[in-house]
Amino acid sequence: MALCKLLTLLSIIAMASAGMVVHESRTSAPAGFVSQGVAPANDMLTLRVALTSNNVAGLEDKLMSLSTPGSPGFRQWLSMEEVKSFVQPSLETVSAFSAFASANGLKPTVISPNGDWVSITLPVLQANQLFATQFEVFTHPDMSNTITRTLSVSLPSELVGHVDVIHPTTQFIGPNTRLAPASSISFDKRAVAASCNSSLPSGIVTPTCLQELYGIPATPATEKTNSLLVTAYEDEFAQTADLSEFLKLLRPDIPSTTTFTSVDDAGTEANLDIQYTTGVATEVPIEFLSVGGDDFGTSLLDTTTFLDGVATPPSVMTTSYADNEADFGISMATKICNGYMALGSRVYL
């Protein structure tokens, strides 16, 4: 173990002298994460590398224009290919990373429709050397598995300006991504409030109440080409039988056979999301996407890259999952936001 630490330290010193630039760092792991020591040198890592898009600023300008009433570009949504022209990396960026990968025996795989994400697999020792870092194994009291992360990651100078994110490295995403704890509630039809002017002893907020509070029409939607996507994470699924019972109880005016299209075992949070979405958005076509994995940052990336490749994506997306943005790190948070900006620029009709 001592020899491994020494070799890693010498490698970092050598790389630093060869022109390494600190890409992202943090002084310590977030609360709850405890280092169990350096990661074994021969353990294999699969890292996702975000290549710099060729014109994110231009895409942001387009989105601002198409979403601003009175702008010449208002509602001039972009096609899939037009979005790709902004998001894909430049030939110079692709060439720079390809040269780096080839020189170090890496075989990158493109994992996104827009070509801005690639995946590489390499041993811990090589990752430590290439990115002037030291990967460690971390535990968290609320997580059953360990994770391999680092507190600092650097780029060789020839990749500066060509790589936005290396993930997972300094990103520590907590184990619970729900906005609020969900709990099971037992109640019968006689207890259901007719409107927000009534109250339930269990504190249940009904679809009718939400419609009154926010002025959401209770009449059925007429534009069937508009659709609403509900996303769920942590391997949770929604259950059609539970949705049917929910509608019978809280929206008896809607057919209890109303269901959703699954683009992928039920979970409490996923059930909650699909039930209230269906109960509030009367007869709007609903789609449901369950994203696996226990790393929320990766799941958010998987969501955007999946939808990037859908020819006719849903008009609106909703979720009730969240996490502490600071735990993502600036580069990761920015890349995720840019991914959803790209989706928001797409034409849906």
pLDDT band at 338 (very low <50, low <70, confident <90, very high): very high
pLDDT of residue 265: 44
Query: Whole-angstrom Cα distance, residue 100 to residue 318?
Result: 39
- Write down the CATH superfamily of domain 189-344: Peptidase S8/S53 domain (3.40.50.200)
Query: Whole-angstrom Cα distance, residue 330 to residue 257?
Result: 44
pLDDT band at 237 (very low <50, low <70, confident <90, very high): low
Q: What is the DSSP letter of 174?
A: -
pLDDT of residue 27: 95
Query: Whole-angstrom Cα distance, residue 145 to residue 139?
Result: 7
Query: Whole-angstrom Cα distance, residue 175 to residue 193?
Result: 35
Instruction: Give yes or no for a contact between 304 and 343, defined as CB atoms under 8 angstroms apart.
Output: yes
pLDDT band at 176 (very low <50, low <70, confident <90, very high): low
Report for 129-138, 271-280, 325-334: range of highest mean pLDDT: 129-138
CA dihedral 52, 290, 30, 23 (to 10 degrees): -10
Query: Whole-angstrom Cα distance, residue 165 to residue 159?
Result: 11
pLDDT of residue 277: 74
Lowest mean pLDDT among 127-136, 230-239, 328-337: 230-239
Two tokens at 79?
């096609």
pLDDT of residue 232: 82
pLDDT at 74 over 90: yes
Chain region(s) in the chain for CATH 3.40.50.200: 189-344
pLDDT of residue 255: 67
pLDDT band at 270 (very low <50, low <70, confident <90, very high): low
pLDDT band at 189 (very low <50, low <70, confident <90, very high): very low
pLDDT of residue 349: 45
106 or 254: whose pLDDT is higher?
Answer: 106
